[in-house]
Structure formats: structure tokens, C-alpha cells
Structure 1
Amino acid sequence: MSDPRSVLDDLPILKFLPPDAKELVKNSFTPASFSFGAPIVREGEVGDAYYILLSGRARLVKSGDNGEEISLNALRPGDTFGEIGLLDHARRTATVRASSDVEVLKLDKSVFDALVKSRPEIRQYVELQIKHRHLQAFFREFTPFAELPGDAIQALVAALEPVNIAEGELVFRQGDEPGPMYIVEEGRLRVFTEDGRRRNVAYLRKGDFFGEVSAFSDVPRAESVEALNSCRLLRLPPENYQELLDAHPEFRAQIEARLPVYAQRHTALFPLDFAQEMLPAEVTVHDKIGPDQVQYTMEWSTAEAEAAKVPSAPFATDDGKFVKKATRIRTFSHVRQVDEMDCGAAALAMVCQHFGRKISLARIRQLVHTSLDGTSLKAICHAATELGLAARSVKASARNLSDMPLPAIAHWEGNHWIVLYDVSDTHVRIADPGTGRRRMRREDFAAKWTGYAALFDYTTDFDFAPEAQSRSAWLWPFVRPFSRVFAQAVALALVVSALQMALPVFTQVIVDRVLVDQDVALLRVIVFSMLAILCFMMVGLVVQRYLLSFVAIRIDTATLDFLTRKLLALPMSYFNTRRTGDIQRRLGGVRQVREFLVQHGVNALTAVAQLAATLVLMFIYSPLLTLVFLSITPLYALLMFFSARWLQPIYDDLEKAFGKYFSYQIDAIKGIETVKAMGAEGAFRELMLNEFNLVAKKRFKADFTVLTYDGGVQMLTVLSVILFLWAGAHQVMQGKLTIGALVAFNTLVALANAPILTLLQLWDNLQIVTVLLDRLNDVFEQEPEQGQDHSRLVPVRTLEGRISFRDVGFRYGGPESPAILDGITFEVTPNKKIAIVGRSGSGKTTLIKCLSGLLEPTQGTILYDGVELSRLNYRDLRRKIGFVLQENHLFDDTIARNIAFGESEPDMDAVLWAARVANAHEFIERLPMGYESRIGESGIAISGGQRQRIAIARALYHR
């Protein structure tokens, strides 16, 4: 080659440079030569020059994951490489190795930097060359186009346009017109279809391409493509795409080979490497516990502890809060959780009681935003602050336990909250909302503690926190109107008890006088007297039972109506955070509470009256024998104490287990069609059996404890009789008591034991009722929808239909929960039709529920005709809205009453109009009884589409 620099005339990097700048760069190159096999540049070295191959051949290679060399390209005279080294000190991404003896021209970076200082425009031409080189290497390494010939790749690279796609953004949507083909340069995407429900059909990574079928066949997009993180795509416009198909058969063959694959695509399995990007409802999920929830971290390593003195109050703040008290906590009130997700709320309730105020568990549950998956650390601290306590979330090690201010709420076993209230050198004391108080070794506690905790301190604001009412306070308004009836029932009980006391007196007279004197006349008088007393007792008992039945029915009706009104008045958030079976058990608990109060309550008063009368008469007969009988009383009290300690937690666990099991039963009944359609009867039966086995274990534990308790009661009863016989025999032998008096006293013992057994049985029942009352209070202590006082609400008599959303946001849970809606602002004018579209989980249903007040926005405002939604009466408003849910419930009633639901009597003209508009009139008329046909559980079966049309008619009924 006479003039080696003549090759520079056709160099792309210099092609568009001004002549003087081009000549300046050409004169800056210097020659160099390399022998066969020698590396010209090495992968990983810092780039320091730009090369042009003058003669010979070279290979561009890259190291693979296993150390092997991947050939990226073959270089021939006129090819260039190493240009990235001119721009910065970046390390080379590939090796260039001589395949023969080669000669090159070389432009050193130092020389290039000097050129750029004098002529800055040179740099932009170099950057353009780097882009093309990078894309060619990318195509060789990653995409299915790696096998295309060089000219095809160059043509493809020249036509591509870079596009940046944000996380969550759609590249295109199913049904869009044909458009460009895309190649993934960086990022991850998913391909899905929406034919009634979302179905993911493919996942895309670096090097994949998509959109080619629509452009090839000139048909609308058959699928949607969404970015799972920030992506960089290479877009091939339709006109360039068609040119490549026509000019390069190899490119067309690659596209045609892909067409059959699309016809066979079904639901794609979830890829392991997409785990970080794929989240439910496409929102960022915050853990219930984690570093982002912690305000302060206290970790003292061993080395630090030896090198420096640990502060005396390491958790204290500048204002002196969170300092460990000098005195240890010896006694601590326990609050049992109502449901398994209530542990965080119950733990905070215990802390509140320690600081002097008994706060309602329902109130705390609202403040901590308890959901079906529990409570977060941040929410616990937020709720404590709302109540007036100072709160601080920390992450600490077990070494810091001795310095931690107590009580503290600790995160336990990864999914539970407990209260730590005492720490010694070897042991700790905890209060577990599920199992009660217990003592354990420090190392055992440290093994299950995650290190996360919430600390608390008193402030004067806490004095104003509202306290809870008595768990039975709601019952007294229903009992008070029948106080006179109860008084009459108690009076009858006292009369019957007094009459019973005649029995031992008659017994003594018969033994001491009738038998001794052979006085038949006296015996006849006594027998007739006893029969008369028996008749009076029977009459008294019948009248008493009549009065109690009268009261029971009325209290049943009143309490059921009260509970129904309370449930219907609760916000949807209450039902969204509780299982159906739990709510059903609460409803069933009302009857048990009423039965205990009305029937057992009077029985308890009767038993107390009978016991008191018996003890008085026993004392008259023999003070000594009476004291012997009463000596068993402390043992009865001890038995009651231990039974309460053991029975109440067992009954509480049993109620939770029954609630969960009933939820499964309800699920099974509602989903029986799916179970049968999937042929899953065996698997579902196994699931139900496993759940019942858990209930059975708890039932066995409860029954065994109760039977043990009953056995203890019987043992003490027999013991009292033995002691009486021993002491009584001594009294008779000493002449201090007649045989008749001993027999009479024996009768009194029998009469006294009967009410004692009754009271002890009622004590057992009281433990069940206490658990039920706690669960019922969960309903009664909840704040009704829109508060207790509705007089301030604006009635909605008419509605023009102007709706405004102003920066509306919504979160299911506390402030740390993911935002389902965020910053929604738009306006709807009357008579305007608007369709709200979005991917599954984007918040469409949530937005509609906010519109009707079923869910209340956590930020922003919704206005109807210029009036804030929160000021309107929701019940009036909803009657002005035609609302069709995704899953519509049809009640067990006639079609007419279902359409006119909420009306005592349907307006048939309005029913017919609504059914015609909803296109339901024809199929309803074909039914045997027309609009009087019964549907629902006990009625005829109708199709899903027919159910939907009836639901639409119901929404239209009020026009």
C-alpha cells in the first residue's frame, strides 16, 4: 500500500468532518504491526487508543461465563476498534486478537484529547461510531439475530432508535394498531392478554424482541407488553422493518420461524429471575417488619462492648424519654387477642393498661390498621403516638435487653407480637396476647426474638385517651326494662329456697319424735305439710320459668336486632379484615350470652339464696359442723382460680379454631362447583379433615380440662361429706347432737352442695361467656360508618351528577401500606359517559368503591355537586348511584324483590322498566312464575349472565 493513510478517507468517523478537521485527524494516526496470535487490545485493560486495520485479519472475542472465548466478529482491512478508549478511561469490553500478521493505524488518546480541545465537534462523530459498534456487539452476543450476516446486522443497527420505558408503563396495549418491532437492550418486561382475566403469556429479558408478528401480518396487537422495571428498548420503525424483510432473506427467515410459536403460547410459568419485579397488584409492598420501619438501631458488638463503656441509657432521646426505670415490673395486666391477627393491637392495649388507661381493643385495632396479615411495627408506634404515648421503633441485639426501657413490644418468631415487661440476668417475663404471661430464659427469648421492638414512655397527653367501657355494658339497656320481672323471679327463688329449708326440720322431727314415740298422727301431719310445701314449690318454679321465658324471648329479639343494626352500620373495612366464620361465631355468641344472663343468672341468684339459707340453718343446728363444712371453701376458691386461668385461654383458642373451621365450611359450600369441576373432592376433603383435626385437638384439650375440673369439684364434695360424717359422729357420741339433728344436718349438707355445684358449673360457663363477650365487643366498640351522630350529615334528596376527584389517594392499611390510588384528579360533568380502564390490580374497583363511600379515601377529596363526600349521608347517596359490583350477590327472594332490594314492597312499574333497560325482561318472562320466581339459595338456578342483568336492573331501579 503506497499511502497507508488513504484508507482513512472512507472512515465513517471522518466522513462528515470538515476537510481541515479531517486532515488534522488523519495526520495524527501512527502505524503499528502485530504478529499472528498476538493480542492487539485485551479485555479489561484501560482503553488508550483507536485502531484501524490496514492489512491482515483479526478476531473480536469476549470471555464467557466459564472462561471460554466467544467470537463476536471477524475484522478485515478497513475495520476499526478501540474507539471507546478515546472518550474516557473505560476498560475494554472485548479482546482483539490477530488472526494473521496485521498492520494497523493507531490514534492515541493523548493525541485525540489535544485534537478535541482545538476542534470539539470531532467528539460527536466518535460517539456516533461507538453507538454503532456497541449495538453490533450486542446483537452478536444476546439476540437471535446473532447468526445474521454482517451486512444485515449493520442495516438493522442503522435503522434502530433507542426508547426508554418507565417501570409499569405499557409499550403497547392489546388491540392497538400495528407498529414498530422492539428489541430489549436492558430491563425486563411481561407479555399478557386480557380476555376476561389477565393471563401472562411470556416474560422478556435482555436480547429478546417482540411486536414483529403484528407488523409482519399487518394485524392489531394481540397482546399487551408492560415494563416490570426501567427498560431501554431499540425500536425498529415499520418502514425500516419492511425494507429489512425485503432486502435480507435471513432476517425474514428469523421472523417467519417465530410465527408458529405465538399460536401455541398459553399461560407462562413464573420465572425465578423475575421474583424481584413481580409483585401483587403492581405496587411496592412494604413488609410488616424491616429496617425501613426502624427509627433507631442499637447494636453493641463484643469488641465495642470491651473497648468502650456502654451508655447507661442507650435508648434515651434528647428530651429524656425512653430511660429504663430503676424498679422492675412485678405485676402486669394481660389482654387476650380476639383474633389471630390482633396480637399487635392486644400488645399495645397491655402497654396502655400498664401506663394507667384501659383502651378499647377495637379502638387500638383501628389505629394500628390491623389487616388479615396483622400489624406493622411502624403502625404500632403511630397508634401509640395517637393515644398520647411517646413511642420509638428500634432494632437491637439481645445484649441490649438489660438496658431496654420496659414494657416493650417485641417481634416474636417472625410473625407475632408480644410484650416484654421484665428482664433479669438469667430470665425474662413476657405477656403473650395468645397464650398469657410466662417466664423464660434469656437465651430462649433471644433465639425467637427478631431484634425489632417498640419502646414507650408516658406523656401527659395520654391522660386524655378515651377508655373502654365494661365488656357487658351494652347488655344493661336490654335488661333494665325487665328489672321488675327479674325481681319477681328472684323473689320466687327465695320463697322456694325458704320452703326447701323445711325439709331438714321435718326430717329431724320424724327421727327424734315420730320414730321414738310411734306418733302416727304427727307423721300424717308432717307428710301432708311436706306435700303442700312441694305444691307451693312447683307453682313457684313454674311461674318463675314462665317469667324467665318471657324475658328471654324479648331480650333475644332486642339483642339480635341491636347486633344486626350495629353490623349493618359498620364500615366495609370491618368486614374486609375479618373472616366470615369469625363474624358468624360472633352472631351465634349473642344467644349464649343471653342464656347465661337470663337463665343462669337467676339460677345463680337462686343458688346463692339457697346456700345462704342453708348455712344459716346449719349454724343454728351446729356451729362446729358448719365450720367443718366451710373449711372446704378455700379449696373451692383455689379450684376456681386455676380453672379460670386454664379454661379461658383454652376456650379462646377453641373459638378461634371454630371460626377458622367455619370459614372453610362456608368456603366449601360457596365453592362446591369449583371443587367438583376440578375433580378436587379428595384433596379438599383432606384439607377440611386437617382443619377439623386441629379443632378436635383443641376440643379434646377443653373437654379434658373441664372433666378434670368437674372431677375436682366432685372430689371436694365427697371430702366435705366425709369431714361432716367424721365430726358429726363425734358430736353424737359426745351427746352434743341428737341422731335426728345429725340426719337433718346431713340433709342440709346435701342442700348446700347442690347450689355450690351449680355455682361452680356457672363459673365454668362464665369463662366461655367472657370469651364471647370479648368477641362481641369487637362489634359494639367499632366506630359506625360516618360516626354515631348522623344529624350533621347532608341528606341527598337530589343529585345533578357533577363529580370531582381532587388529589385522591387510598391505602389498604396504615401510612406504610402500598398506595393503591395516588394523586387521582379529574372531573365528571352531568350526562357525560366515562370509562375507567387499567390493568388488573391498578385500582379501578377501589376507585369506584371510594366513589360510593364503601371505602373512604386516605388522602384528597371527592365532591358531589360541590359538596364533600364525607359530609353527605352515604345511605342517601348510594340510593342515587347505580352500582354493579364485580361479584353481585342475589338474595334468596323473588326476582322482583331482588331488583327492588331495599324497598318493603316493589314498585312493579319501576321493576319492569329496569328489567327492560337491562335486557332481562325477556328471560324473566319465560320463567314459570315470571317476576315472582324465587332465586338465590332456595330458588331456581340462573346463568352468570342472567345474574349480571338482574344486578344491572337493580342498579337502575331507582333511576
Structure 2
Amino acid sequence: MARGASNLEDRPTSRRVGALGALWPFVRPYRVQMLLALVALVVTSAISLILPLAARRVVDNFDDGAGLLDQYFGAALLIVAALALGTAARYFFVTRLGERVVADIRKAVYARVITLSPAFFERVMTGEILSRITTDTTLIQSVVGSSLSIALRNMLILAGGLAMLAWTSLKLMGLVLLIVPAILIPIIVLGRRLRSLSRQNQDWIAASSGTASETLLAAQTIQAYTAEARSMARFDEVTEQSYRVARTRIGTRAVMTAIVIFLIFGGVIGVLWVGARDVQNGVMTAGQLVQFVIYAILVASAAGALSEIWGELQRAAGATERLAELLSAQDTLTDPSMPVPLPAPLRGQIGFHGVGFNFPSRPDVPALHGFDLTIRPGETVALVGPSGAGKTTVIQLIQRFWDPQSGQVTLDGIDLRDLARVDLRSRIALVPQDPVIFAASAAENIRLGRPDASDAQVQAAARAAHAHDFIAALPQGYDTALGERGVMLSGGQRQRVAIARAILRDAPILLLDEATSALDAESESLVQAAVSRLAEGRTTVVVAHRLATVKKADRIIVLDQGRIVATGSHDQLVAQGGLYARLARMQFTDGPGQIAASA
């Protein structure tokens, strides 16, 4: 699998941890909680810096009597208790802040993605989006809820420790400062490499999730075509590539850690050697050296921890960039700043005026070309024609899932681009060719377009769609969960649930895209009767390959290669000859052999 398949767009590589600044809008609402965490962090850091002073007093006054010694150790115990309480408070506030921020980010990303038009999902695999919402936000949770506070604490200890080192012994402090550039160089050089590898690792994880999501959703098809081995090989390839990048990242970080730790503690040992000589020569007391040693250990530990956390911050910066890209993704469809309100009541006249449309993924192949069609209020219009003629495209344009490149689509004379999409779609009921059933109860699935409907209204819609009997026979009736993608139901049952959903919606415009294709003959006749009652007084657009389902339409529009090639009733079109007559002859009179011969 090409790595580019996982890319949202050509994304720049993070060059700085400053990318984490994009998290501020999510942190800002919780400033008080952040301030409490910061206070606890400063207090615990200050207490950590006080402990070496106590150790110095104990060493220098070791011979001053047991009472004074007891007081020193008692004070040390109180300091440790304060440190424990402060650390617990810091953990509580910081961890809770991390959980809250990540929950808000997940909600914001989902809220943004769920509103994007189909053009976005032509470029991005659903599995990659799920990876960002889960894996990337987990990284951010680790940083906001842990690493960031630890980094700040170590920065305070590092700065305070260096100041106390200078106060304890300026000479030894000068030697310590000579070590710092040697430590920073590998952190900066190898840190850039880590940043790039972290971003690649996250991209490959997203690609792996996308591949898994795509194939698991089509598991039965893959098994039916005995493609399990190829599917596993494809997933293995992407997952192994993710592992290889992760292995390189881990190796690079391990090398950086080894170099930094050696330089830090090697330098400390050298400085302590000089300090020990000064104690021997009477330049400083043993307590001062102990104090300097403890501060040096604190500073070295803080510097080492910062080098570790730096890699985590870089990974989180890459994750933040990826999530920010989703939040700022530009949609090809936008609502006007001042949408035109739809008239009430809606007449339901739909117009296509010189419409030309190409799908972005096939820019050189027109789906519709010079398309003109007016559907009158309350009229039932059927769209027929061979596969790829543009029938479903017409349905999608009516719902404004796409905008035409030329011409306009109107509703009651108003260009759809001048309407709010929510307002437009609230007046439409759709029964798609492949109905989506959610992992919820049968009643919740039917209520999708009208969540406030009563149980009686839900059951009435199900009866009209000839779905009541099989729903009532389920283990918990209308409260039975239908499983992911409706796995508990047959194809015909799923379609009848979708029809019940459209009946309950009770919208002035009804779109039926192969709505009865999965029904048996008996169910189809019953559902057709329900659809006929539902279509009364509504503008109805029917897409069908089976011409028996459209014979009673007010008008039949025959499409071929994105153009209207004939219009009329069933009898008129049969009498005219041409494409419709040939399709009708194949379906109503010719046997399979005749169909094969005419192909």
C-alpha cells in the first residue's frame, strides 16, 4: 500500500514543539484548574529545592547535640509530608485536565468530520480518522495529563537547582555550566531526527488502522473471494512498515538517552571530584559539598528527564498537527453566511438548469453534462438507465452532497447553494440502495430522522413499510439491537427498516434510490403500495433498474452517459423504441438467452 493513501493532504513536518500551542483553545476554558495545578507544581518544586539545605544543616551540625538533630529530622519529615500532598494535588489537577482536554478534542474532531462533504472522504480513509481520534489523542492526553507538568517541574528544579549551585559554590557551578552545551548538542541534533520519525510512525499507524477498518467492514466479501491471504499480506506490510519506523525511532532515542546520561553524570562526577579536593583543602565544608551534590543530582535528573520528555513532546506536537489539520480541514461545500429561508409550506419543485458535474476523483469523466430537468411539485419522476448513467448523481445533487461545476440546482426556485444544508435536508426523506442500519434498537433506527416520534408512530411507519411483523418477532421486539450495520437482518429487512425511517420522516420530498431492489416479489408489492401512499402529495424521485417499480410514475426520465435521452410514460417510451424500449424488452419479454445475445 502506498503511504500517500494515508495522507490527509501534503502535510508539513513539525519543526518545533511549539505546535502544541494549538492545544491552548482547548485548555483555556479550564484556566482555574490549570492555575491550581501550577501552584501545586511550584510548591512541590520549591520543597524539592529546600531538602538539600536541610541535609547541609544536618551534616554541618552533626555534633551539636541530639535535641537539635531531632528538630532537623522532624522538620525534614514535615517537608516530606508537604511534598507528598503537593505532588498528589498536582497529579489530580493535571491528570483531570488532560482527560477533560482530550475529551473536548475528540468531540470537536468528530463534530467537524461528521459534517464534511463526500469529497473529503474521497481523500481520507475512515480508519485514519479513527486513528487520529484515538491514537493521536492518547498521545496528547499523556502530554497534557503528565509529561507537560513533569517537564515544567523539572524546568523549575533545573533553574532553581542551578541558582542554588551557584549560591553554594560559584567555582563548581562554573564547571557545571561547561557541561551544558555538550548535553544540548545531541538533544537538538537527534531531536530533529526523532521528530521526523515520530511523525512517520503516526502516519503509518493511521494507514494500518485505515487498512484494518476497510477490510474488516468487508470481511464477508473478502472471505467469499478467498482473499484473506492478500488482505493479511497488505495489512502485514503496512504494520511492519510502522514497526520499522518505530524501531528506528526507539533506537535513535536510546542513543540520545545514552549520550545525554553519560555526559550529565560523567560531568557531575568530574565536578564532585573537584569539590572533594576543596573539602580536603578546607575551601568548603562537608555540608556544603553534600548540599552541592544533592543539587547537582537534582539538576542532572531534571536535565535527563527533560531529554526523555522532549521526545514525548515532539510526538505529541506531531499528533497535535494531525488533529489540527482535521479541525481546520476545508470543505468544498459551505453554507452561505446569510442563508435564504425555505418557504413554508414548501411546494417541492426541483430544477436542474444546465448542470454539468464531474466527481473530483474522475475530473475528466462528466457524470452529468448539460443536464436540464424540472420536477413539478407533487410529481413522481423515475430515473432509469444503465449503470453509470448519472441517476444516483442526480439524487446526491438534490441533497447537495456536491455542487455542480456549472449550472444550478434549485428548490422552489432557490439555488441550493443559497440554502443552509441542514434546512434543505430536513425537508428530504431518503431510502438509499444500500441502507445503513446502526448498532442500535430497531425503534432508534426508524427514529433516525424524527427522534421525537412516539412508539405508536414508529410502529405505524413500520407497518406501512411491511416491517412490523419481523421486528415484532425479534427477541426484544422494537427494543432489539440490530447489530453493527444491521447484521441481524437480511438485505430485504434492512431496506424495509430504511423505508419505515423515510415514512416516519414525513418530508415533502422523497428520494428512493433502488429502494426495493433487495425485496422479494411479495414484499415488493406491499412496499410499493406503501410507497405509493407515501408519495401522494409529495415530490418523489425514484431511481430503479427494475422497470416494474417505475411503471406508475408520472414521468420516466431515461438517462445515458449523463444526459437525458428520452422522457415520457412507460407506454410512450416503449412505443418510441430506443434505450428504454430495449431495457423493457430485456426485463419483461426476453429470456436470459435473449439478454445475453443482445449484450
- Specify the TM-score bucket, using the shorter chain as the normaliser: 0.7 to 0.9
2:4 pairs with 340, 350, 368, which one?
A: 340
2:84 pairs with 502, 523, 538, which one?
A: 538
Q: Which has the higher helix share?
A: 2
Any idea what the Cα deviations from partners look like across 1:554-590, whole Å, max 9, x if unmatched?
3233323222221223222112210122111221223
Counterpart of 1:487 in structure 2 is 35
Q: 1:710 to 1:842 in 2, by over 3 A?
A: farther
Q: How far does residue 856 in structure 1 lie from its aligned partner after superposition?
A: 1.7
Any idea what the Cα deviations from partners look like across 1:189-231, whole Å, max 9, x if unmatched?
xxxxxxxxxxxxxxxxxxxxxxxxxxxxxxxxxxxxxxxxxxx
Counterpart of 1:503 in structure 2 is 51
Counterpart of 1:585 in structure 2 is 131
Q: 1:708 to 1:936 in 2, by over 3 A?
A: same
Q: Is the 8 A contact 2:40 2:87 kept in 1?
A: yes
Any idea what the Cα deviations from partners look like across 1:372-394, whole Å, max 9, x if unmatched?
xxxxxxxxxxxxxxxxxxxxxxx
RMSD: 2.8
Q: How far does residue 708 in structure 1 lie from its aligned partner after superposition?
A: 1.7
1:910 pairs with 449, 454, 457, which one?
A: 457
Q: Distance in 1 between matches of 2:474 and 2:195?
A: 54
Counterpart of 2:316 in structure 1 is 769
Q: Distance in 2 between matches of 1:792 and 1:538?
A: 58
Letter in 1 for 2:329: Q
Counterpart of 2:232 in structure 1 is 685
Q: Is the 8 A contact 2:482 2:488 kept in 1?
A: yes
Q: Distance in 2 between matches of 1:728 and 1:765?
A: 35
Any idea what the Cα deviations from partners look like across 1:216-248, whole Å, max 9, x if unmatched?
xxxxxxxxxxxxxxxxxxxxxxxxxxxxxxxxx
Letter in 1 for 2:269: I
Q: 1:676 to 1:471 in 2, by over 3 A?
A: same
1:676 pairs with 213, 217, 223, which one?
A: 223
Q: Distance in 2 between matches of 1:783 and 1:875?
A: 18
Q: How far does residue 741 in structure 1 lie from its aligned partner after superposition?
A: 1.4
Q: How far does residue 833 in structure 1 lie from its aligned partner after superposition?
A: 1.8
Instruction: Say yes or no: does 1:478 pair with 2:26.
Output: yes
Any idea what the Cα deviations from partners look like across 1:654-712, whole Å, max 9, x if unmatched?
12211111122112321222233334434433333333222222221122122222222
Any idea what the Cα deviations from partners look like across 1:765-811, whole Å, max 9, x if unmatched?
12111211221122121235754765434357542211000111222
Q: How many residues align?
A: 502
Q: 1:557 to 1:795 in 2, by over 3 A?
A: farther
Q: Distance in 2 between matches of 1:612 and 1:704?
A: 30
Letter in 2 for 1:486: M
Counterpart of 1:868 in structure 2 is 415
* Equivalent position SS for 1:876: helix
Letter in 2 for 1:644: G
Counterpart of 1:889 in structure 2 is 436
Q: Is the 8 A contact 1:895 1:934 kept in 2?
A: yes
Q: 1:796 to 1:875 in 2, by over 3 A?
A: farther
Counterpart of 1:697 in structure 2 is 244
Q: 1:699 to 1:814 in 2, by over 3 A?
A: closer
For residues 836-851 of structure 1, the aligned pairs below 5 Å read 836-851=383-398
Q: Distance in 1 between matches of 2:337 and 2:14?
A: 41
Q: Distance in 1 between matches of 2:121 and 2:45?
A: 49
Q: How far does residue 905 in structure 1 lie from its aligned partner after superposition?
A: 4.2
Counterpart of 1:561 in structure 2 is 107
Deviates more, 1:879-888 or 1:654-663: 879-888
Letter in 2 for 1:606: R
Q: Is the 8 A contact 1:790 1:873 kept in 2?
A: no
Q: Distance in 2 between matches of 1:925 and 1:851?
A: 35
Counterpart of 2:61 in structure 1 is 513
Q: How far does residue 862 in structure 1 lie from its aligned partner after superposition?
A: 0.3
1:663 pairs with 173, 185, 210, which one?
A: 210
Letter in 1 for 2:102: D
Q: 1:651 to 1:552 in 2, by over 3 A?
A: closer
Q: Distance in 2 between matches of 1:902 and 1:947?
A: 16
Q: Distance in 1 between matches of 2:362 and 2:388?
A: 19
Letter in 2 for 1:675: I
Letter in 1 for 2:347: E
Q: How far does residue 840 in structure 1 lie from its aligned partner after superposition?
A: 2.2
Q: Is the 8 A contact 1:493 1:606 kept in 2?
A: yes
For residues 698-737 of structure 1, the aligned pairs below 5 Å read 698-737=245-284
Q: Is the 8 A contact 2:333 2:402 kept in 1?
A: no
Counterpart of 2:301 in structure 1 is 754
Q: Distance in 2 between matches of 1:342 and 1:601?
A: 29
Counterpart of 2:148 in structure 1 is 601
Counterpart of 2:565 in structure 1 is none
Counterpart of 1:834 in structure 2 is 381
TM-score between both structures, scaled by the size of structure 1: 0.49
Any idea what the Cα deviations from partners look like across 1:467-506, whole Å, max 9, x if unmatched?
xxx9556532332232232222212222222222222122
Counterpart of 2:400 in structure 1 is 853
* Equivalent position SS for 2:357: strand
TM-score between both structures, scaled by the size of structure 2: 0.78
Q: Which has the higher strand share?
A: 1
Q: Distance in 2 between matches of 1:833 and 1:958?
A: 18
State percent identity of aligned pairs.
Answer: 27
Q: Distance in 2 between matches of 1:586 and 1:490?
A: 29
For residues 774-789 of structure 1, the aligned pairs below 5 Å read 774-783=321-330, 787=334
Structure 2 regions of 5+ residues with no counterpart? 507-599
Q: 1:732 to 1:795 in 2, by over 3 A?
A: farther
Q: How far does residue 894 in structure 1 lie from its aligned partner after superposition?
A: 0.5
Q: Is the 8 A contact 1:796 1:873 kept in 2?
A: no
For residues 611-650 of structure 1, the aligned pairs below 5 Å read 611-650=158-197
Structure 1 regions of 5+ residues with no counterpart? 1-338, 347-360, 362-432, 437-469
Structure having greater relative contact order (Cα 8 Å, sep ≥ 6): 2
Counterpart of 2:496 in structure 1 is 949
* Equivalent position SS for 1:735: coil
Letter in 2 for 1:571: S
Letter in 2 for 1:768: R
Any idea what the Cα deviations from partners look like across 1:696-748, whole Å, max 9, x if unmatched?
22221122122222222222222222222232233324432222211221111
Q: Is the 8 A contact 2:99 2:145 kept in 1?
A: no
* Equivalent position SS for 1:883: strand
Q: Distance in 2 between matches of 1:902 and 1:702?
A: 48
Q: Distance in 1 between matches of 2:141 and 2:338?
A: 32
